[in-house]
Amino acid sequence: MKTLLIGINAKYIHPATGVHQIYANSKHPVSFREFTIKDDNEYILSVIKNEKFSLLGFSVYIWNAEKVKELLQALPVEQNVVLGGPEASYRPDDFFRHRNVKYIVKDEGEEAFNQLIEHLSGKRDIKTVSNLYYREGEGYRYTFSRKPNINAIKHDLSLIGDFNNRYAYLESSRGCCFRCSYCLASLDKTIRYFPLEKVKDEIKYLLAKETRTIKFLDRTFNVDQKRMREILRFIAANDNNRTVYQFEINGDYFEDETIALIQTLRKGLVRFEIGVQTTNEITSRSILRKQNFELIKKNIAAIKNNVTIHVDLIAGLPHEDYRGFVRSFNETYELGADEIQLGILKELKGTLISATKDEHGYVFSDKPPYRVIKNNYLSEDELAEFSAVETIVNKYHNSGYFKRTLAYLFKERKLNPYETFLKISRFLNGKNINSYQPWQVAQILYLSLKEEKDEELLYAIKQDYLTAHKIRPKIWWDSDIGKREKAEAFRKFIDKYPKLNLDLLYRYSRIERLRNQYFLVVYKPFAQYFLDI
């Protein structure tokens, strides 16, 4: 039986891990191909049709569900297709509408796929294939659920191929002990761990390949603190000053020994993703999420100098209205995380949120990513505003290019974070900030927030803008430093920093002043200096 597995990734940097897992654990000859959602459908179809495959397998996720449906529509009805992945697992009706879809493997598929091939080869009754939806007449049936033995599951990280330009996804466990009502992970309540020595061997392999980013797929990496510490010690001991490790963690669950260990890590080695989601206690209880926000604040303050912190919020959760979400945003922003993701709730079939959506008046889009349009607590316009603010937060905070400016706005001026980002969004009046050049992005920040001639704000923006480039960038402001003042200032900088010289400063630098302070950026080699006068 000639079988082709197909992964359609959101971007090239994301390998098709689900397809890799089926391929690595297959007892039967299979091929696989990877594409991205930007690849032309005709190109993908030409690859598929170039050889006649008895069975085609697609891995289906939110980001590629519509594209997979388009391909299914274009494929012959008589083609045998098997689907896997969360979108197919929990929306089987959407996919069995396509007559060429004969099977859907639900959840973990390493064992089920092999059993299905045995059935198709005449060696097994279909009712003995685990985790399988199969077509029967005009409908479909489900067999039974069974998790494969985790100790028997293989990973073949070599399938990533391009370690320099792609992420490496690594599993140290499967399952989640939490019950968050919006998340599919809550359906797999038992945590199963891969052998720790196997995890270390896989890290060693990826380090030997000079992998840039290793993302652990564990749903909550710090559930087992002893195991967490052993892995952190291992990666610290093997730090190559290049590879970054990413983990999803529970922000209010840290033992003192774990915090002490994290405080020894080099900043940039580890990145933690912390799901705050809401600071509203009523909302937290309604989504079955127990968390202590005060403890989250304490823990983040203790570790943020040693790890990169990314925090998540979800707009559209039950019982959180406009004012409540703005409060959640501001309280979460004040944690001082390197990145804050303002996400909009999505309907994931199989979750409690989906099952109880009528209770809260949810209206979700019927197209991926199935974002909430409105509910009993938020209007369509309010959710649209949150989406617009999300774009501004990504551009000005998450990019990391305006740290001085944002610190000035929120720590010195003590502005309201949400209202500040909203003000920038409204200044744009519906225009997409991502369509602007870097100099325009900096200029918009000033024009949208300035109070008359706001020299302090402009000085902070100048510093961020000038240091975000490795060569002298386009200047969009009028300089108030004349030739004579510049020459005198350059001599003072040379007196204080003897390694500087006039030729270097005139050819490769930019100087700015705010009252009695000069700020100098030199681009060859890159360096920045201050001089008080």
CA angle 337, 339, 344 (to 5 degrees): 115
Q: Residue 433 contacts by C-beta under 8 Å, 6 or more apart in sequence?
A: 391, 392, 395, 424, 441, 444
Is residue 416 assigned to a domain? no
- CA-nearest of 261, 278, 281 to 270 is 261
What confidence tens digit (pLDDT) does each residue in 495-525 have?
999 999 999 999 999 999 999 999 999 999 9
The mean pLDDT value of the chain amounts to: 97
Q: Are 358 and 364 in contact (CB under 8 A)?
A: no
The span from the CA of 184 to the CA of 276, in Å, is 17
Is residue 51 assigned to a domain? yes
Is residue 413 assigned to a domain? no
Task: Indicate the pLDDT class of residue 480, thresholds 50, 70 and 90.
Answer: confident
- The predicted pLDDT at position 452 comes to 85
- The predicted pLDDT at position 429 comes to 96
Residues 255 and 174 in one domain: yes
- The predicted pLDDT at position 510 comes to 97
362, 378, 394 — which closes off a domain? 378
Is residue 438 assigned to a domain? no
Residues 172 and 48 in one domain: no
The span from the CA of 488 to the CA of 508, in Å, is 17
Q: Are 383 and 344 in contact (CB under 8 A)?
A: yes
What confidence tens digit (pLDDT) does each residue in 427-447 have?
999 999 999 999 999 999 999
Residues 171 and 112 in one domain: no
Task: Indicate the pLDDT class of residue 187, thresholds 50, 70 and 90.
Answer: confident
Q: Is the pLDDT of residue 150 over 90?
A: yes
Residues 293 and 341 in one domain: yes
What confidence tens digit (pLDDT) does each residue in 336-347 have?
999 999 999 999
Residues 177 and 70 in one domain: no
- Which range (46-55, 352-361, 389-398) has the least confidence? 46-55
Residues 216 and 89 in one domain: no
191: phi then psi, degrees, rounded to nearest 5: -90, 125
- CA-nearest of 480, 392, 376, 462 to 428 is 392
Q: Residue 416 contacts by C-beta under 8 Å, 6 or more apart in sequence?
A: 330
What confidence tens digit (pLDDT) does each residue in 315-338 have?
999 999 999 999 999 999 999 999
CA 520 to chain centre: 35
Q: The domain that contains 306 carries what CATH number? A: 3.80.30.20
Is residue 431 assigned to a domain? no
- The predicted pLDDT at position 127 comes to 97
Give the helix/strand (H/E) hosting 56. Answer: strand 55-59
Is residue 13 assigned to a domain? yes
Task: Indicate the pLDDT class of residue 51, thresholds 50, 70 and 90.
Answer: confident
127: phi then psi, degrees, rounded to nearest 5: -70, -10
Amino acid of residue 412: E
- CA-nearest of 215, 213, 193 to 17 is 215
- CA-nearest of 174, 176, 187 to 145 is 187
Q: Are 30 and 4 in contact (CB under 8 A)?
A: yes
318, 346, 378 — which closes off a domain? 378
- The predicted pLDDT at position 1 comes to 82
- The predicted pLDDT at position 89 comes to 97
Number of domains in the chain: 3
- Percent share of the chain, pLDDT over 90: 96
Is residue 210 assigned to a domain? yes
Cα separations (Å) of 67 from 10, 47, 48, 104, 315? 11, 15, 15, 17, 27
Give the structural domain span for 276. 155-378
Q: Residue 36 contacts by C-beta under 8 Å, 6 or more apart in sequence?
A: 8, 9, 10, 11, 12
Residues 169 and 262 in one domain: yes
- CA-nearest of 77, 86, 78, 128 to 105 is 86
Q: What is the DSSP string of 329-397?
A: HHHHHTT--SEEEEEE-B--TTSHHHHTGGGGT-EE-SSTT-BEEE-SS--HHHHHHHHHHHHHHIIII
What confidence tens digit (pLDDT) does each residue in 232-258 have?
999 999 999 999 999 999 999 999 999
Is residue 387 assigned to a domain? no
Q: What is the DSSP string of 101-169?
A: EEEEE-S--HHHHHHHHHHHTTSS-GGGSTTEEEEETTEEEE-------GGG----GGGG--TTTS-EE
What confidence tens digit (pLDDT) does each residue in 457-477 have?
999 999 999 999 999 999 999
The span from the CA of 288 to the CA of 291, in Å, is 10
Mean pLDDT across 392-421: 98
Residues 125 and 34 in one domain: yes
- The predicted pLDDT at position 453 comes to 85
Residues 121 and 160 in one domain: no
Tokens of 335: 């944690």
Tokens of 227: 């195991």
What confidence tens digit (pLDDT) does each residue in 92-130 have?
999 999 999 999 999 999 999 999 999 999 999 999 999
Q: Is the pLDDT of residue 186 over 90?
A: no
DSSP summary character for residue 441: H
Residues 293 and 268 in one domain: yes
Residues 61 and 160 in one domain: no
Residues 211 and 351 in one domain: yes
Cα Dmax for the chain: 90
Q: Is the pLDDT of residue 300 over 90?
A: yes
Amino acid of residue 207: L
Number of neighbours of residue 239 by Cβ within 10 angstroms: 15
Sort strands 139-142 and 509-514 into parallel, antiparallel or unpaired: unpaired
355, 378, 401 — which closes off a domain? 378
